[in-house]
Amino acid sequence: MKSLAAKLAFIQAALLAALLPLAVQASDSGSLMSQAKKYYWGQGAKQDYQKALQLYEQAAENGNPLAQFIAGGMYYTGKGTEVNLQKAFDLLSRAAAQGKTSPEAQMALGTIYLRGQAVPQNYVKAKESLHQAALAGNAEAQNELGFMYFVGNGVEKDYDQAMKWFDQAAGQGLSIAQFNVGMMWYLGSSSRGTDLVKAYAWLALAESGGHPGAAGLLQHIKPMLPPEELRAAQQLSSEMYEQYHRL
């Protein structure tokens, strides 16, 4: 079974991969960029991500921020090459320094700093990148930022801030964030206090989204609820399922 960190990394890579074609469409008409775009899309040439990457890298070395952004994303997702977080980090950082970035790219940079992958672990820089991505609405960044506040990595431990960011990510349908919200309602960590009905509802939602730890905590909470509260929790869970599965 994949770890939660591995699942998050997969989600992040998928988001960045989805963004790459949009960036490619916006590439300039310069010779290298034009040729790279043809190979990337297979328009006017046979589709070849490896050749596209080679050309984007050449343009990146010439200082083109869009080329740096695209090549960095390709290294991060393993498109046309093996995954290389060091090259991804270098290219995405250079692009960001010239103003070319995205919530997904900032999420990637923040995660690399947070995990200490390819660069020394740096919670301060991780928080900076994740905060940018979180403010722009990236659910994975919101959840990661919430966890930093929950455990106090690089920031002062703040359960209210943790709940705030978990809640925003959970509202976008991220199952791990839904689990985290449910856990916090169960623990009563934030100033909102304990609410087992809400805890049950959020955990049930997380379980329906495939979170591996939700079922066990649900079974722990269920006997703690009087019959009328259990019915209320199940009703709330059903309403939340209908709401969030329409996202």
The arithmetic mean of pLDDT across residues 10-32, rounded, is 62
Q: Name the amino acid, one letter, at 59.
A: A
Q: What is the pLDDT of residues 69-120, one digit of tens each?
A: 999 999 999 999 999 999 999 999 999 999 999 999 999 999 999 999 999 9
With cut-offs at 50, 70 and 90, classify the pLDDT of residue 29: very low
Least confidently predicted of 5-14, 94-103, 122-131, 183-192: 5-14
Angle at 133 between CA 126 and CA 145, to 5 degrees: 50
Q: Is the pLDDT of residue 25 over 60?
A: no
Number of H helices, E strands in the chain: 13, 0
Q: Is the pLDDT of residue 3 over 90?
A: no
* Distance in angstroms (rounded) separating the CA atoms of residues 184 and 101: 33
Q: How far is CA 239 from CA 23, 139, 217, in A?
A: 38, 21, 20
What is the pTM (predicted TM-score) of this model? 0.81
With cut-offs at 50, 70 and 90, classify the pLDDT of residue 31: confident
What pLDDT shows up at residue 1? 42
Domains assigned to the chain: 1-136 (1.25.40.10)
* Distance in angstroms (rounded) separating the CA atoms of residues 107 and 138: 8
With cut-offs at 50, 70 and 90, classify the pLDDT of residue 229: very high
What pLDDT shows up at residue 244? 81
Q: What is the pLDDT of residues 32-83, one digit of tens each?
A: 999 999 999 999 999 999 999 999 999 999 999 999 999 999 999 999 999 9
Q: What is the pLDDT of residues 124-145, one digit of tens each?
A: 999 999 999 999 999 999 999 9
